[in-house]
A and B are shown apart, each in its own frame.
Chain A
Amino acid sequence: MDVRLYLAQRISAALMLPLVAVHILVVLYAVGEGLTAAEILARTRGSLYWALFYGLFVAAAAIHAAIGVRSVAREWTPLRGRTLDYGAIGFGVILALLGARAVAAVVL
């Protein structure tokens, strides 16, 4: 794997360690309280902290997932070269856009 991709994969992973841990705790807490749209949105709407938290999370996850899927596709499928690279970039961009939209939906 390209050294830059390897580093981006590891840095995004290290960044997400605390983010995922907090996310799992929030999931466990929220589901125990009875998951409702009102409860979720009351927590997130207008919150700069959650906006930053999930904004960073989405960016790191989009990079991490795109590189991860590229690595697996390279080993387990015949995809190579540009098809592989553009496919991975496309997947990362779609994740980033959908993720940004989701963050906007719950914090704005």
Chain B
Amino acid sequence: MRAHRKATLWLAALVHRISGLLLAVFLPVHFLALGLAIEGEAKLESFLRWSENPWVKLAEMGLVFLLTVHLLGGARLLVLENFPWRDWQKTLAAIAAGVATLIAFGFLFRAV
């Protein structure tokens, strides 16, 4: 592994990119699922009952993690680009990952 790839902020950039790509893949599916309500409440309801499957809930937990980590990673980037560099910006990347994990587990606890 090249030395720079061990750097926290290189990892933060990779996580931001991968989470963004996965969210972009998920978005059309999310919109199609909500669009079921056009065919009536029952159609959406049957989809939601299907989504109670534990594997789906686990996947949703992953999505909540991806969204939160992308949000906080993005906020970090906006700070980085618009304000002077500070050493604590590495800490922000770590906080982003930590908070995203907490929110994702929070989702799972609320869901089950």
Contacts and interface: CB of A to CB of B under 8 A. Distances in A.
A37 B27 contact: no
Given A13-B77, A17-B75, A35-B48, 16 more contacts: A24-B71, A27-B64, A28-B103, A28-B107, A32-B110, A32-B111, A35-B51, A36-B45, A37-B41, A37-B48, A38-B41, A41-B44, A65-B24, A65-B27, A101-B35, A102-B35
Contacts of A17: 71, 74-75, 78
A1 to B, nearest CB: 13
B11 interface: no
Chain A contact-residue range equals 35 or more
Contacts of B34: 102-103, 105-106
A23 B22 CA distance: 18
Contacts of A95: 27-28, 31
B65 to A, nearest CB: 11
Contacts, number: 93
B62 interface: no
A37 B64 contact: no
Given A65-B27, A102-B31, A72 B75 contact: no
B110 to A, nearest CB: 4
A20 B71 contact: yes
Interface in B9-55: 17, 20-21, 23-24, 27-28, 30-38, 41-42, 44-45, 48, 51
A31 B111 contact: yes
Contacts of B31: 58, 95, 98-99, 101-102
